[in-house]
Copies of this chain bind each other. A is one copy, B any other.
Amino acid sequence: MRAALLYAADDIRVEDVADPRIQNPTDAIVRIVLACVCGSDLWPYKSLPLTDQPRHMGHEFLGVVEEIGAEVHGLQRGDVVVAPFVYSDNTCVYCREGLQTSCVHGGSWGVNGVDGGQGQAARVPQADGTLVKLPVGEDSELLPDLLTLSDILCTGYHAARTAGVGRGDSVTVVGDGAVGLAAVISAGLLGAEQIILMGRHSQRTDLGREFGATDVVAERGDEGVARVQELTGGEGTRKVLECVGLRDALVQSFGVVRAGGTISRVGAPQFTDVPFGFGEFLRNITLTGGVAPARAYIEELMPHILDGSINPGRVFDRELGLENIADGYRAMNDREALKVLIRP
Q: Which residue of B lies closest to A238 (CB)?
A: B97
Q: Does A196 contact B (CB under 8 A)?
A: no
Of A72-80, A120-128, A288-296, A334-342, which stretch is located at the interface?
A288-296
Taken residue by residue from 281 to 314, chain A's Cβ proximity to chain B (1 for < 8 Å, 0 otherwise) reads as 1111111111101000000000000000000000
Write out the residue numbers on chain B whose beta carbons fall within 8 Å of the beta carbon of A162. Answer: 284, 286
Are A280 and B286 neighbours in the complex by a CB distance under 8 Å?
Answer: no
Inter-chain contact B277/A275, CB cutoff 8 Å: no
List of B residues within 8 angstroms of A26 by Cβ: none
Residue of B nearest to A276 (CB): B274
A102-B284 in contact given A97-B260, A260-B97 (Cβ < 8 Å)? yes
> How far apart are A237's CB and chain B's nearest CB, in angstroms?
14
A228 shortest CB reach to chain B, Å: 18
- Report A64 CB to chain B, min CB distance, Å: 31
Q: Is the CB of B278 within 8 A of A275?
A: no
Docked CA distance A290–B260 (Å): 9
Say yes or no: A277 contacts B273, CB within 8 Å. Answer: yes
Shortest beta-carbon distance from A257 to chain B in Å: 12
CB neighbours (8 Å) of A102 from chain B are: 259-260, 283-284
Bound Cα distance from A284 to B265, whole angstroms:
10
Question: Across the interface, do A276 and B276 meet the contact criterion of CB distance under 8 Å?
Answer: yes
Q: Contact: B281 with A272, CB < 8 Å?
A: no
In the complex, A269→B285 CA distance in Å?
13
> Which residues of chain B are within 8 angstroms of A288 by Cβ–Cβ distance?
286-288
Give chain A interface residues in 113-163, CB to chain B under 8 Å.
162
> Does A101 touch B at the CB level, under 8 Å?
yes
Confirm or deny: A48 has a beta carbon within 8 angstroms of a beta carbon on chain B. no
Q: In the bound complex, do residue B286 and residue A282 qualify as a contact, i.e. CB atoms below 8 Å apart?
A: no
**What 9 additional pairs, Cβ within 8 angstroms, besides A273-B274, A285-B290?**
A94-B259, A99-B259, A101-B284, A162-B286, A268-B281, A272-B278, A274-B277, A284-B290, A284-B293
- Some 29 contacts from A to B, beta carbons below 8 A apart, are A99-B260, A99-B284, A101-B282, A101-B284, A102-B259, A102-B260, A102-B284, A162-B286, A265-B281, A268-B278, A268-B281, A272-B277, A273-B273, A273-B275, A274-B276, A274-B277, A276-B276, A276-B287, A280-B290, A281-B289, A281-B290, A281-B291, A282-B291, A283-B290, A284-B293, A286-B287, A286-B288, A287-B288, A288-B288
